[in-house]
Amino acid sequence: MGENGTSLDALLALAVRGVPVDPEAEGRAVAAYRAVREGGAHGARTRRRDDWRPREQRRPGREFKES
């Protein structure tokens, strides 16, 4: 039981179901994100370890270490 008397099953079910999202609020958030991104406010490049695309879709790199 949780601190307020709820069972673990109830807490997990609530976490999995999630909370409904307001479509208008989501649209405003996406529009704000795109405006900032396109405005160039964040010029840092993505680190290779943060790029989760499949290897074939990433920009090509060197296969072998050159010495």
Please tell me the predicted confidence (pLDDT) of residue 24: 96
Eight-class DSSP state of 40? T
pLDDT tens per residue across span 1-16: 556 667 888 888 888 8
Against a cut of 0.85, is the pTM above it? no
**CA–CA distance, 63 with 65 (Å, rounded to integer):** 7
Which run of H or of E encompasses 51?
A: none
Question: Does the residue 25 lie in any domain?
Answer: yes
**CA–CA distance, 65 with 67 (Å, rounded to integer):** 6
Higher pLDDT, 33 or 40: 33
Question: Does the residue 4 lie in any domain?
Answer: no
**Number of domains present in the structure of the chain:** 1
The domain in which residue 27 lies consists of 21-45
Question: Does the residue 10 lie in any domain?
Answer: no
**Residue 12, token pair as written in the block:** 């997990």
Question: Does the residue 67 lie in any domain?
Answer: no
Question: Does the residue 27 lie in any domain?
Answer: yes
Confidence of residue 52 (pLDDT cuts 50, 70, 90): confident
Question: Does the residue 32 lie in any domain?
Answer: yes
Question: What average pLDDT does the chain have?
Answer: 78
